[in-house]
């Protein structure tokens, strides 16, 4: 595996935090993550995420995927999730998906918890569905793992993607998997979706075991048989208030 020299110090500091601070279910006020994105081992670009919480307990997440080379022609993909932090974790109130300048691919989802209705606007159409408990969106669910009970054998929730509203099920495969990025070792919990594509898990995630259960690696199985993979290469954590 190639060495990640430009980010080696970032990862070392990240690992130091995970090994010296007590585990907390409360996410930090600001969390910035950067992933390298590959397809079948070929670099496609980067995924940059910023998670923040304000004084009123409102969270905001932005996840931007930026391609390189020919992949840059598709434009940046931007996911935005906003909501509140509860004792059970993230409770989304608004979600957006944007793909470059193509407004036909934009999707807007509003969570009307008072009336238990999910409102989705996509390609000029508006649909309404009943909201189920623990409903997440396409980006918030990755941070919701921080609040889940890993003593169970399965983690389940409903998620709105902007196109559909479906149930996700992840089985806990192994709670102690060593994962190496560059020359940095992480102890992770390995989970994978029950849903499969071509006989392979649709999604596999390696969650950090220390401090916060955030994704260190995410692997997606595409419909065309290719494999997308995100690997953490940089992290910046605001420890104010901890």
125-130 and 117-122: which strand pairing?
Answer: antiparallel
Mean pLDDT confidence for 144-161:
92
pTM: 0.85
What pLDDT is recorded for position 10? 54
Residues 6+ apart with CB under 8 A from 19: 210
What pLDDT is recorded for position 164? 87
pLDDT tens figures, 91-130: 999 999 998 887 888 999 999 999 999 999 998 899 999 9
Most confidently modeled of 42-46, 91-95, 133-137?
91-95
Domain boundaries, the chain: 5-237
Which residues, in sequence order, are bridge partners of residue 154? 171
* CATH for the stretch 5-237: 2.50.20
pLDDT tens figures, 18-34: 443 434 468 889 999 99
Banded model confidence at residue 225, pLDDT cuts 50, 70, 90: confident
What pLDDT is recorded for position 4? 45
Sign of CA dihedral 170, 174, 179, 185: positive
What pLDDT is recorded for position 240? 47
| Three-state secondary structure call for residue 113 | coil
């Amino acid at each position: 595996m190639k060495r990640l020299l430009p980010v080696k110090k970032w990862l070392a500091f990240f690992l130091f935090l995970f090994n010296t601070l007590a585990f907390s279910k409360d996410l930090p006020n600001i969390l910035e993550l950067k992933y390298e994105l590959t397809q079948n081992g070929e670099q496609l670009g980067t995924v940059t995420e910023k998670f923040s919480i304000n004084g009123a307990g409102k969270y905001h997440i932005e996840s931007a995927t930026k391609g390189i080379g020919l992949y840059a022609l598709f434009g940046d993909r931007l996911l935005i999730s906003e909501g509140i932090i509860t004792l059970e974790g993230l409770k989304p109130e608004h979600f957006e998906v944007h793909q470059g300048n193509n407004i036909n691919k934009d999707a807007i989802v509003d969570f009307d918890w008072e009336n238990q209705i999910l409102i989705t606007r996509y390609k000029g159409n508006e649909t309404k569905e009943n909201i189920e408990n623990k409903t997440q969106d396409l980006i918030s669910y990755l941070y919701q793992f921080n609040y889940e009970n890993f003593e169970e054998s399965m983690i389940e929730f409903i998620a709105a993607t902007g196109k559909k509203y479906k149930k996700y099920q992840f089985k806990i495969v192994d709670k102690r998997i060593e994962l190496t990025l560059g020359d940095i070792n992480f102890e992770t919990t390995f989970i994978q979706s029950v849903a499969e594509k071509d006989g392979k898990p649709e999604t596999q995630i390696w969650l950090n075991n220390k401090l916060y259960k955030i994704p260190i690696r995410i692997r997606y199985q595409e419909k065309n048989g290719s494999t997308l993979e995100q690997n953490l290469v940089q992290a910046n954590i605001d420890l104010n208030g901890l």
